[in-house]
Amino acid sequence: MEGCVNETNFVILEEGVIAMDVIGQKINEKKLTGNTDAFYVADLGEVIKKHHQWKMALPRVKPFYAVKCNDSKPIVWTLAQLGISFDCASKNEIAMVQDIGVPPERIIYAHPCKESSHIKFAATNGIQMMTFDNKDELFKIARIHPTARMVLRIVTNDAKSFLPLSMKFGATLKECRQLMECAKALCVDIIGVSFHVGSGCTEPQAFVEAIADSRIVFDIGMSLGFHMNLLDIGGGFPGSEEEKITFQEIAAVINRALELHFPEASGVNIIAEPGRYYVASSLTIAANIIGRKITIDSTNSNDDETETKKTIMYYVNDGRYGSLKAEQPPIKPIAFKKVSPDQQLFDTKLWGPTCDSFDYVIDHCKLPELEIGDWLLFQNRGAYTITLASKFNGFQGPIANFVMTREGWETLQKIKQENQLPTEEQVQGEI
């Protein structure tokens, strides 16, 4: 628990109160004081719920949360309390997770091209599991961390993913034998295979193919004398109901492929590196309308009557350079205002607050006419949002708030009873 920031707001909600109530309260308070700063509310209870669903749908697969997706300490802390392990991509991510008290066995350094000084740091801090996909990396490992337990990352067919990764990382099946022979010659141990089907995967068949390919690589490794006992099926799982495929659909396909190629009797440990799955739906951003431009276009129709078309551009105080960059799941602004169902909707474009014309939030949506000072909500924004925010043009990202339902808190307590969960007061002081 040490190392958690204490400037963030963390509240355990009373019975019947939900995160959306907190957002409403905050907006009303802000209206009273004239404060228009953008903020977000992250619901840690939602993260706990996701973990429960994971265990139900993928009981054989041990999750290593991908810290890069959202590295907020309260989120990482909650996941750590649930007993989840971590995928770290750098020295700072490893240090942060270890600061929270996560032991090195619960960390995989899942970056195939690591900076030498970061490998040294990992070695000094007891991290053993790490990925690779090329010979140069093996030479680095042999020199800096010869006792590491390496996991060979292979390419996948990620054509149907929102964010493909295989053009940057992964060895082809052809390259795998050579790489494994090289590891053998360097006395570097290989314990398994990893892959990533690309973030925001919409095609479960990508997992099936990658699991089948992993089996081939396992067999090569075993024929070379490696004790292969780890399959890492990476990330790519959907994080909200807005996505094209459900987590349960993907999980069912994965379970069948695992049963075929890596049945329980094989004794192979299966892990995954979900990021988006755990956090996307937990976070709602509230941004204020700071400017507005209304355009009226007049056109003459055939019978000489003039038709007018109103389009509206709003400028809001979070944008593409802040935390409203990730377009998956699609950005769907909601007006935080009572709007009657028959209120007219207009073609709308949303701009971020900076001077840069690349800083748009959404090119086109339909919204009612709103005023400067009104608020817009953006749901499902927990993945690849606040970790990517910059301070371009001097704009600070949205202010962080964390909540957990009483029910979520009690679930966490049950899980951690035997491990002396800190009191509510201690947590509020520490995160």
Task: Select the span of 45-53, 118-126, 212-220, 269-277 touching ligand PLP (CB under 6 A).
Answer: 269-277
The binding track of 339-368 with respect to ligand PLP, each residue x by CB under 6 A or -, is ------------------------------
Which residues in 395-414 contact ligand PLP (CB under 6 A)?
Answer: none
Enumerate residues 6+ apart whose C-beta is below 8 A from 85: 62, 63, 64, 65, 102, 106, 107, 108, 271
How far apart CA 223 and CA 220 sit, in angstroms, is 5
Please tell me whether residue 238 binds ligand PLP under the rule CB under 6 A. no
Please tell me whether residue 97 binds ligand PLP under the rule CB under 6 A. no
Backbone angles phi, psi at 30, to 5 degrees: -65, -35
* 3-class SS letters over 149-193: EEEEEECCCCCCEEECCCCCCCECHHHHHHHHHHHHHHCCEEEEE
Task: Select the span of 20-28, 235-243, 287-295, 299-307 touching ligand PLP (CB under 6 A).
Answer: 235-243
For residue 4, indicate whether it is catalytic: no
Nearest residue (CB) to ligand PLP, 93 versus 430 = 93
Q: Regarding beta strands 306-316 and 283-300, do their DSSP bridges make them parallel or antiparallel, or are they unpaired?
A: antiparallel
Nearest residue (CB) to ligand PLP, 75 versus 110 = 110
Which one of 63, 204, 234, 408 is in contact with ligand PLP (CB under 6 A)?
Answer: 234
How far apart CA 324 and CA 330 sit, in angstroms, is 11
Please state, as a whole number, how many other Cβ atoms lie within 10 Å of the Cβ of residue 412: 21
Q: Which helix (H) or strand (E) holds 400?
A: strand 399-405
Angle at 156 between CA 151 and CA 158, to 5 degrees: 135
How far apart CA 417 and CA 409 sit, in angstroms, is 12
Task: Find the residue with minimal CB distance to ligand PLP.
Answer: 235
Please tell me whether residue 133 binds ligand PLP under the rule CB under 6 A. no
Nearest residue (CB) to ligand PLP, 87 versus 318 = 87
Please tell me whether residue 274 binds ligand PLP under the rule CB under 6 A. yes
Indicate which residue of 88, 182, 201, 355 is catalytic: 355
Which residues in 145-204 contact ligand PLP (CB under 6 A)?
Answer: 165, 196, 199
Nearest residue (CB) to ligand PLP, 323 versus 348 = 323
Nearest to 169, CA basis, from 235, 215, 124 = 235
Nearest residue (CB) to ligand PLP, 22 versus 230 = 230
Q: 341: cis peptide before it, omega within 30°?
A: no
Please tell me whether residue 118 binds ligand PLP under the rule CB under 6 A. no
Nearest residue (CB) to ligand PLP, 12 versus 211 = 211
Which one of 48, 69, 94, 176 is in contact with ligand PLP (CB under 6 A)?
Answer: 69
Please tell me whether residue 275 binds ligand PLP under the rule CB under 6 A. yes
How far apart CA 214 and CA 185 sit, in angstroms, is 22
Query: Is the Cβ–Cβ distance between 400 and 385 less than 8 Å?
Result: no
Q: Least Å distance between CB 388 and ligand PLP?
A: 12
Query: Is the Cβ–Cβ distance between 59 and 264 less than 8 Å?
Result: no
Residues binding ligand PLP (CB under 6 A): 66, 69, 87, 110, 165, 196, 199, 234-237, 273-277, 383
Catalytic sites, residue numbers: 355
